Structure 1
């Protein structure tokens, strides 16, 4: 009887998917698109917390689909004016203090972004959760008041990605991404991401507070807060240019 009862959540999830004519990849896609839409423009802040200090970075962001993104650092004064640009599979950093544009190679995508617990890949989504991974439903799990799909993402053989495995928890009703665990190629847990404070942002409900927590670094984490965001704004590919990195404010 106990074995049968443990199968009920997975059976319910499978029946739900069948009834809605949706696959696991589509669930991941919908959860990811909550944060971007066809295009977006917004402001956010990032607080880096360590055992004996913390600092906050403010920024503006623009995205177009999954291939184009631009992030402008507006505070603090020391970093103000830095710009990060992603165009398809390439990423650049404009540094006004030395008036140089630096191309960030794929080998640096796993490195810390602005000294935080987010990687370069996390911020510009160099890898695609939909295209670069296979998706498997592991079951369902309760997170606080939400019944969630628990989904395993394994990179495809041809994908140039930084993670060996990702586990995602996505709500069954509204496809809200609430948690993710990031594993290296040796299947060791590296970071846990917690998403919370679900609010109406423009035309959709979405998590507005993200925490990235390293496993083996007590007292250390980085929080990201979406303060304002508009979706499906009027942007085209020409906005995401190296030349515009030097002009954007």
Structure 2
């Protein structure tokens, strides 16, 4: 914050790194709501830096062991039912993750706000109250979003709402962030609700149950052989 105005580069870096560190281990619940059903999954994640992550489904039992490994720009999916590992191509990064409203890209955070988008402070937001930051896709970016609007708390440290606009500049989905808690000295929202605009009664909620930052995560965690051990 400078003279009552957000330091935009610092705010963008803080937002991108809010759930990142040199390493982390987390457990989260993902609840997918549809008009006729609701499904809840529990997943455990390990990360190192920005380019390595492992996500393993623990519940429901029928999907336990289903795993996703990201190393650099590569993403693999292990399917324990058929004991097969498949590589997810870049063209599938915007596809639905496990039937939810999140995409593969959302889960492994392949896209970068600072590298893939130009940012601009748009001013104050009335509802929710805070600062409004706009992100416009840089020329040549391959992806779903033409622009993104992020509403931040008054001090710029907590995301409150994110709106995603498609390539035709139509509002496509909205993310609501709430339930701020502290983990290892970091204040961050532990509950996120993603709502698609074109699917009535559809939403996906993610709630972090635990997060530990800067913990010991062996390099061997992020290998194809380890990916297939969680069957």
TM-score normalized by the length of structure 1: 0.87
Q: Which residue of 1 aligns with 2:58?
A: 74
Please tell me whether residue 15 in structure 1 is matched to residue 6 in structure 2: no
Q: Secondary structure at the match of 2:174?
A: strand
Match among 139, 162, 172 for residue 180 of structure 1: 162
**Distance in 1 between residues matched to 2:221 and 2:18, nearest whole Å:** 22
Match among 170, 178, 190 for residue 208 of structure 1: 190
Please tell me whether residue 140 in structure 1 is matched to residue 124 in structure 2: yes
Q: Which residue of 2 aligns with 1:63?
A: 47
Q: CA deviation at 1:79?
A: 0.7
TM-score normalized by the length of structure 2: 0.93
Q: Secondary structure at the match of 1:243?
A: helix
**Distance in 2 between residues matched to 1:174 and 1:182, nearest whole Å:** 19
Match among 227, 235, 245 for residue 209 of structure 2: 227
Aligned-residue Cα RMSD (Å) equals 1.8
Q: CA deviation at 1:41?
A: 0.4
Query: Contact 2:11–2:156 (CA<8 Å) still a contact in 1?
Result: no
Instruction: Give unmatched runs, 5+ long, in structure 1.
Output: 1-12
Query: Contact 1:68–1:237 (CA<8 Å) still a contact in 2?
Result: no
Query: Contact 1:91–1:103 (CA<8 Å) still a contact in 2?
Result: yes
Query: Contact 2:181–2:187 (CA<8 Å) still a contact in 1?
Result: yes
**Distance in 1 between residues matched to 2:124 and 2:222, nearest whole Å:** 39
Query: Radius of gyration: which is bigger?
Result: 1
- Number of aligned residues: 231
1:52-99 CA-partner distances (Å, limit 9, x unpaired): 210100110111122111100001011100001111111110111111
**Distance in 2 between residues matched to 1:244 and 1:108, nearest whole Å:** 23
Q: Which residue of 2 aligns with 1:123?
A: 107
Q: Which residue of 1 aligns with 2:68?
A: 84
Match among 210, 224, 231 for residue 242 of structure 1: 224
Instruction: Give unmatched runs, 5+ long, in structure 2.
Output: none
Query: Contact 2:66–2:230 (CA<8 Å) still a contact in 1?
Result: no
Q: Secondary structure at the match of 1:247?
A: coil
Question: Which deviates further from its counterpart, 28-37 or 155-164?
Answer: 155-164
Query: Contact 1:134–1:153 (CA<8 Å) still a contact in 2?
Result: yes
